[in-house]
Amino acid sequence: MTEGDRHATPAPRSTDAMTAPRPAGIPVTVRAPAKVNVQLAVGGLRPDGFHDLANVFLAVSLHDTVTASPCDTLEITCTGPGAAQVPLDDTNLAVRAARLLAARHGRAPGVRLHIDKDIPVAGGMAGGSADAAAALLACDTLWGTATPRAELLKLCAELGSDVPFALAGGVALGRGRGELLTALEVTGTFHWVFALADGGLSTPAVYRECDRLREAAGTGFTADEVPAPEPDPELLAALREGDAGALAGALANDLQPAALSLRPALAATLDAGRAAGALAGLVSGSGPSCAFLTADAASALAVAEALEKSGTCRAARTATGPVPGAAAVDGTVG
């Protein structure tokens, strides 16, 4: 099949439903999930400025949606809580995704993108990455460019370390800088509460603080000599068996000391969630959102209510996971 043929008659991707070709020019809405890192093992600082990771991602039911509509130029708008913190210029990850996909197909990036934002901005829950994955999928469908799934995942990795997982969803181990994914076996659904903080934390600043703390602790390792990070077999077994108690015991985030160092008030948030009956709590990724694993839906509601009353966070949200990755709301793309 030639490249021209592929564009004329999009080949179904491996995860696609077998649906009729989509009429061109109709707006496409894709939603993509937030993530929590149930294990984030951070290795040494690499020469390219990234850290090697063993990053166990779990997608949760907080979503952003991105709608791509026909337009001659590239336009972006954003609504929802936190929209004021989202840049509406070429640095927006959804805009970068549209430009990258257009360049890959040698076409103009004409699209009107609208983000309906529900994932906290700079909260350690990969909201910008969700928008990038959603925009890629929405533009690919709107433009009829029929990019194979493996190529979409490569484009995601160019956009950011967390972006491939926003496309993949579920539960996955991210190696390398987090972009090299292997899907993990998981049973059932886990119940989470997220304590949202006022203001964000900068991801590079948190990684820098992690290096600084390690060097200051005199571990005998400089930032570029840390042992290779590995997934915890007990955590993988807990996911496989759907055992929330065992997962609670294995939750781990090497960035947590750095996030706490930059935002000491998060210690009170973690204490409040644990005191309210959560099985365990940890900083989500680079923070400052804190994630609490609970025994069931009723317990999640009780923990969320107690966290809101505690005054140690801006708001608390319940969520479940794992959930699927980026997908069209009307079911036209996988």
Ligand X SMILES: C[C@](O)(CO)[C@H](O)COP(=O)(O)OP(=O)(O)OC[C@H]1O[C@@H](n2ccc(N)nc2=O)[C@H](O)[C@@H]1O
Which is closer to ligand X, CB of 6 or CB of 50? 50
Identify the residue among 32, 126, 223, 291 touching ligand ATP (CB under 6 A): 126
Smallest distance from ligand ATP to CB 295, Å: 26
Q: What stretch of H or E contains 270?
A: helix 266-275
Residue 128 — φ and ψ, nearest 5°?
A: -65, -35
Contact between 169 and ligand X by CB under 6 A: the answer reads no
Least distance in Å: CB of 91 to ligand ATP? 6
Report the distance separating Cα 289 and Cα 170, nearest Å: 20
Q: Any idea which residue has 């600084």 for tokens? A: 212
Please check whether residue 238 is in contact with residue 247, taking contact to mean a CB–CB distance below 8 angstroms: yes
Helices (H) and strands (E) in the chain, counts: 11, 12
Which of ligand X, ligand ATP, none does 40 bind, CB closer than 5 to 8 A by kind? Answer: ligand X
Nearer to ligand X, 177 or 263 (CB): 177
Question: Judged by CB, which is closer to ligand X: 68, or 163?
Answer: 163
Ligand-binding annotation for 217, yes or no, is no
For the chain, how far is it from start to end, CA to CA, in angstroms? 22
Least Å distance, CB 5 to ligand ATP, is 34
285 belongs to an annotated ligand binding site = no
Task: Please give the structure tokens belonging to residue 263.
Answer: 């935002």
The contact pattern for ligand ATP, residues 86-105, with x = CB under 6 A and - = no contact, is xx---xxxx-----------
Q: Give the relative orientation of helices 127-143 and 93-104 as an angle to the nearest 10 degrees.
A: 40
7 vs 46, beta carbon nearer ligand ATP: 46
Binding of residue 37 to ligand X (CB under 6 A): yes
87 binds ligand X (CB under 6 A): no
Neighbour tally for 296: CB within 10 Å: 12
Residue 113 · residue 98 · CB < 8 Å: yes
Residues that bind ligand X (CB under 6 A): 37, 40, 49-51, 53, 55, 126, 129, 160-162, 177-178, 203-204, 207, 285-286
